[in-house]
Chain A
Amino acid sequence: GQQLNQSPQSMFIQEGEDVSMNCTSSSIFNTWLWYKQEPGEGPVLLIALYKAGELTSNGRLTAQFGITRKDSFLNISASIPSDVGIYFCAGHRNAGNMLTFGGGTRLMVKP
């Protein structure tokens, strides 16, 4: 089952606000991935993180690989209505090929 705790489960924010969500685990991961899923679509990769402490940006999105390797966070600055969707974190341990997914954060943006 899921071993990544993702929070918050949902967020309803005003357009222009910044957003922060995170994933934590009791186990160490060597890769953290952040995906966005829109209704009726598959998850789309936003950011990939491969080193502890790594901070990576993709436009208004910034993600960090926690120093302990047990957590990661995603920030979205100046949210816009098209940011609406479900954001998933996923971790990989190098043991086999399986990703472990968080439960998702549902983001809703009010214009």
Chain B
Amino acid sequence: DAGITQSPRHKVTETGTPVTLRCHQTENHRYMYWYRQDPGHGLRLIHYSYGVKDTDKGEVSDGYSVSRSKTEDFLLTLESATSSQTSVYFCAISDNSGGPQETQYFGPGTRLLVL
């Protein structure tokens, strides 16, 4: 298994509170991604990073921010959580440049409930 951990694994929070999810990798991969998974929508990309301090938006980035100060850590922040952000969040990593052999490996997920 790829060395990816996510913390916390489960979180319950209230609407309007800030939440930060952490993804940590031990593979020294350049690319890191945050997805959310919801019934009927599958996996959707929130943000991704292509290096330290280099990030870009994905398909569903509104209401989320990210930071990457070290190669091994990629943080996802919900500045003011809303009930629509209740979801399962997955981190993924990739070691190539997004070229012909793009392969992503996923972490175990964080289940977030916003009340």
Contacts and interface: CB of A to CB of B under 8 A. Distances in A.
Given A42-B107, A43-B106, A88 B101 contact: no
Contacts of A1: 41, 44, 59
A48 B102 CA distance: 9
Contact of B106 (A30, A42, A92): A42
Interface in A29-59: 30-31, 33, 35, 40-45, 48, 50
B31 to A, nearest CB: 6
B102 to A, nearest CB: 4
Contacts of A42: 4, 90, 106-109
A66 interface: no
Given A31-B100, A31-B102, A41-B108, A97 B94 contact: yes
A24 to B, nearest CB: 15
Contacts, number: 65
Interface of B: 1, 4, 31, 33, 40-45, 48, 50, 58-59, 90, 94, 98-109
Interface in A64-111: 88, 90, 92, 94, 96-99, 101-104
Contacts of A98: 45, 48, 58-59
Interface residues of A, number: 26
A92 B42 contact: no
A31 B101 CA distance: 7
Interface of A: 1-2, 30-31, 33, 35, 40-45, 48, 50, 88, 90, 92, 94, 96-99, 101-104
B58 A45 contact: no
B101 A50 contact: yes
Nearest to A31: B102
The A contact surface, by secondary structure, is: loop
Contacts of B90: 42-43
Nearest to A99: B104
A7 to B, nearest CB: 14
B103 A97 contact: no
